[in-house]
Amino acid sequence: MQTVGIIGGSGFIGSYITKIFLEEDFKVKVTSTDISNRSKYEHLLMLTNAQNLEMVPLDVRDKNALQDFVKDCEIIVHGGTPFQLEVKDPQTELFDPTVTGTRNFLEVISKSKDLKKVVFIASVAAWNTSFPMNPATYDHDHIFTEQDTPYMSDGDHPYAKAKFLADQEVRKFIKDNLNLSFEISSVFPTWVIGNPLSERPDSTSMDMQYLIKNKITPNPFVEMLFATDTMFSMVDVRDVAEAVYQAATTKGLHGKNYLIANESYKVSDISLMLNNQIPLNDAAIVYDSSLAKKDLGIAFIAAKETLNHCV
């Protein structure tokens, strides 16, 4: 039985990834920043083959704890960086766990003897920190692919900048280490939608669905979405989990980066679909996932289907 370690495996996306690996008869090690708080991971204990699940306390800034976690794992999925839009201290809340945590993780895995595959769950923000808006220098109808050069603006949200800088650490590590004994791939989801496996109330993705459904604007970011009625690219959480699983179990993908995206709709139309109404405008493709379809075999679930069934 192979062992996979999933950093962030009890979160919104991570829970679906944990579910797939358990169903595929892997031994699964999942991290928790607070192992004493069962509410963060008790939903995982109800999954099929949960007897093969091990919960492990971990702070990604702790190199010794990372070394213990990585040991004996053939596959590591790193999705343990925070997704939050309300930020008081960007350095401690975002940059330390995201950028420093990624740097520490790369240092630890470089010494691993057991690893065969590593998959990073990045973010479309690492490709375009202005997401969901296009950078000002891009054409309005620009379609992003993996051939685009990642774009960062100092004026964009700290979350996006942290994801961009973490991804740059990964790219540099791959470039500087040409003789690794394991493969590294990264996936870059757009806004991830769907229903959670847990009943936890702290999912930023779920908060966004609630705010857009009810047209609530508690912060400048959401206010901007409605004011511009921007095109917002989405992807079903189940598709993201499948993409991660395929990237982790398919050989020959070292150094590959995959945009994981489906249709884009105007925010006003997303609100309508979340209320089980028909959108007024057609969908568009702003982020092209042709490479993920080709290499990973992902058949994306239509955004309408997902949004119509969101809690």
* pLDDT of 76 higher than 70: yes
Q: What DSSP character marks residue 188?
A: E
Residue 235, token pair as written in the block: 């992807």
Residue 308 to residue 33: CA distance in whole angstroms: 33
Which residue is it, tokens 């420093």?
Answer: 100
DSSP of 125-175, one letter per residue? GGTBTTTTSPPTTS-TT--B-TTSPPB--TTS-HHHHHHHHHHHHHHHHHH
pTM: 0.95
Structure tokens at 8: 């962030």
> Which percentage of the chain shows pLDDT scores above 90?
76
Asked whether residue 81 carries a pLDDT value surpassing 80, the answer given is: no
Q: What is the pLDDT of residue 82?
A: 67
Q: What average pLDDT does this structure show over 42-66?
A: 93
Give residue limits of the domains in the chain. 3-193+234-261
- Mean of per-residue pLDDT scores for the chain: 93
Ramachandran sector of residue 72 (left: φ over 0; alpha: ψ -120 to 50; beta: rest): left
Q: What fold does the segment set 3-193+234-261 form as a domain?
A: Rossmann fold (3.40.50)
pLDDT for residue 189 is more than 80: yes
Give me the mean pLDDT over the 127-151 stretch.
92
Helix axes 101-109, 63-70, angle to 10 degrees: 50
Query: Which pLDDT belongs to residue 168?
Result: 96
Does residue 78 sit in helix, strand or coil? strand
With bands split at pLDDT 50, 70 and 90, how would you rate the model's confidence at 171?
A: very high
Q: How would you list the strands of the sheet with 264-266, edge to edge?
A: 191-193, 231-236, 264-266
Integer Cα distance of 43 and 22 in angstroms: 13
Side-chain-side CA neighbours of 109 within 13 Å: the count stands at 29
Question: Does the pLDDT value for residue 83 go beyond 90?
Answer: no
Give the pLDDT confidence of 263-289 residue by residue, as tens digits: 999 999 999 999 999 999 999 999 999
Nearest alpha-carbon partner for 15 in 44, 35, 37, 36: 44
C-alpha distance across the termini of the chain, in Å: 36
Task: Please write the tens of the pLDDT for every residue from 210-237.
Answer: 999 999 998 888 999 999 999 999 999 9
Alpha helices in 177-289 (DSSP H): 204-214, 220-228, 237-249, 267-274
- Packing angle between helix 267-274 and helix 220-228, nearest 10 degrees? 100
Average pLDDT over residues 81-99: 79
Q: What is the pLDDT of residue 293?
A: 97
pLDDT tens-place string over residues 6-52: 999 999 999 999 999 999 999 999 998 888 889 889 999 999 999 99
Residue 148 CB contacts under 8 Å (≥ 6 apart), including other chains: 127, 128
**Which of 56, 63, 53 has its CA nearest to residue 26?**
53
Residue 205 clears pLDDT 90, i.e. is over it = no
